[in-house]
Amino acid sequence: MTSILRETVLDLLLRIDSDSGFSHLLIDHEIKSHRIPERDAGLLTEMVYGTLQRKLTLDYYLEPYLSTGKKIKPWVRMLLRMSVYQMAYLDKVPDHAIIHEAVEIAKQRGHRGIAALVNGVLRNIQRKGLTETSNIHEMSKRISIETSHPEWLVNRWIDMYGIETTKQMCEANLTRKGTSVRVQPMKISRDGAISRLQEQGFDVQESAFSAQGIVITKGNILKTDLFKEGYVTVQDQSSMLVGEILDLKSNMTVLDACSAPGGKVTHIAEKMNDTGKIYAYDLHVKKAKSIMDKAKNLDLTIIDAKQNDARKLQDVHKEGSFDRILIDAPCSGLGVIRGKPEIKYNKQATDIKKLAQIQFDILHEVAPLLKQNGRLMYTTCTVDKEENNRVVTRFLASHPEYTVDQAFFEELPDFLADSEGISDEGLQLFPYTFQTDGFFLTRFIKK
């Protein structure tokens, strides 16, 4: 790895840390705008994600080697973190080269004193080794340090799910999962797509979550004609379950109240064979436009995406207008930490409380728009009960015309019907169980 690439990694880490930018978007923009070669792009991605994912663990390793009370500039601490990450978790570059490059960056960005500090800390770690975590006796703190999740979040999940589930969730968030895609069935069959991908050297398998789903364990789908020409679109398997379980039929009128980035709404259009009508909304004009772009790429014509607040849709649509409604509510995102590790450091308990209120408000305002005997699906990409089970309980308590549709549980695939996350309120998918995002979904019926 060149020193220029290490500088790029450091800049990206600092921007994600200080600006709360989404790691996947910044990395993607950097690689495309500077046309970074594929081999270097892989290492850059690994270093940025790895350092972010292990930030608290790396700080634990650094702590004994930093002078107590001495203030260190953010860029110096980040340089130390990314250097220790390489020394502890990667074997592609020898320690002496990692230390040399870190010292050179410290000289260029700072001065000889900072370079000496960086050199001293890293050489001490090289000589004495990493501090053992087995010395931490309190279980929540140990999980927090070993898996780099804030201790308040670990304690929150332990209260909700117990130690073992919490530990498995945190460990899963440090791993990678395969990319999953959904075929556009009006353009290509799943078998046809699998054959074409295998011919190009991809390792793929069928998804058990959707007859349209394919899981890719080797190969970059974004560079294929299949993706560019709209024969497949990227979507997590858990997200595909929404279209499969919404009980859709041709010519229905459907509302997707919080639609961006558009994966679920385009799947709904495919399940309806591009017949009927789907109204899709998002708070932001740009995102609504991106939904239309996605629909166009997939050759889907029944989606009408516009900007609006889901809590104000009674101003646009009459009561009882829709056969089906999807509320994929704005949430904390604590189920997608594996792909966006910065989320676990940026969210607070107060954020979750505010989001739970927004989720309830959306449900409350949208509920009148469903026809009698219609179905409303509520989903989030979080594992937090305050945003999932408790929002469902509160909604049902204030809307006696609604109940959880028991047919929802009967229609789940067999492997999910008795899975760990089943409750009276719906289905919670944990990130470790089926190698999907952490995802919650349930279906209401209007009496």
DSSP tag of 435: S
Tokens describing residue 9: 């990694």
Write the single-letter amino acid at 137.
H
> For the chain, what is the radius of gyration of the CA atoms?
24
In the chain the first and final C-alpha atoms are separated, in Å, by 62
Q: CATH topology for 179-234?
A: Alpha-Beta Plaits (3.30.70)
Q: Has 400 been labeled as part of a binding site?
A: no
Residue with tokens 């989606």: 303
Q: What is the rounded CA–CA span in Å between residue 186 and residue 184?
A: 6
Q: What is the rounded CA–CA span in Å between residue 436 and residue 430?
A: 8
Q: What is the rounded CA–CA span in Å between residue 434 and residue 345?
A: 25
Q: Has 258 been labeled as part of a binding site?
A: yes
**In what helix (H) or strand (E) does residue 426 lie, and over which residues does it extend?**
strand 426-429
Q: Answer for the pair 52, 82: CB distance below 8 angstroms, yes or no.
A: no
Q: Has 447 been labeled as part of a binding site?
A: no
Which backbone phi and psi does 147 adopt, to 5 degrees?
A: -110, 0
What is the edge-to-edge ordering of all strands in the sheet holding 232-234? 203-206, 213-218, 179-183, 232-234
Q: What is the rounded CA–CA span in Å between residue 241 and residue 222?
A: 22
Which pLDDT does position 28 carry in this prediction? Answer: 83
DSSP string, 263-313: HHHHHHHHHTTT-SEEEEEESSHHHHHHHHHHHHHTT--SEEEEE--GGGG
422 DSSP β-pair partners: 427
Those residues whose C-beta lies under 8 Å from the C-beta of residue 135, and which sit 6 or more positions away, are none
Which pLDDT does position 69 carry in this prediction? Answer: 66
Which pLDDT does position 22 carry in this prediction? Answer: 76
Q: Has 309 been labeled as part of a binding site?
A: yes
**Where, residue-wise, is CATH 1.10.940.10 in the chain?**
4-128
Q: What share of the chain is helix, strand, coil (3-state, %, to 5)?
A: 50, 15, 35
Region of residue 326 (phi > 0: left; psi between -120 and 50: alpha; otherwise: beta): beta
Neighbours of 143 (CB within 10 A): 25
Q: How far is CA 389 from the centre of its chain?
A: 20
Q: Has 134 been labeled as part of a binding site?
A: no
Write the single-letter amino acid at 387.
E
Q: Has 260 been labeled as part of a binding site?
A: yes
Which pLDDT does position 382 carry in this prediction? Answer: 98
Active site residue 381: yes
**Where, residue-wise, is CATH 3.40.50.150 in the chain?**
237-446
Secondary structure E strands in 140-284: 179-183, 203-206, 213-218, 232-234, 253-256, 277-282
Which pLDDT does position 21 carry in this prediction? Answer: 67
Q: What is the rounded CA–CA span in Å between residue 119 and residue 104?
A: 10
Q: Has 264 been labeled as part of a binding site?
A: yes
The verdict on domain 237-446 having CATH code 3.40.50.2300 is: no
Averaged over successive runs of 10 residues, the pLDDT of the chain (447 residues) comes to: 80 85 80 81 90 96 84 93 96 91 94 93 95 94 98 98 97 94 97 97 96 95 94 97 96 97 97 98 96 96 98 98 98 95 94 98 98 98 98 98 97 94 97 96 97
Q: 103, 313, 381, 441: which one is catalytic?
A: 381
Instruction: Tell me the pTM.
Output: 0.93
Architecture of the 4-128 domain: Orthogonal Bundle (1.10)
Which pLDDT does position 1 carry in this prediction? Answer: 57
Q: What is the rounded CA–CA span in Å between residue 382 and residue 403?
A: 22
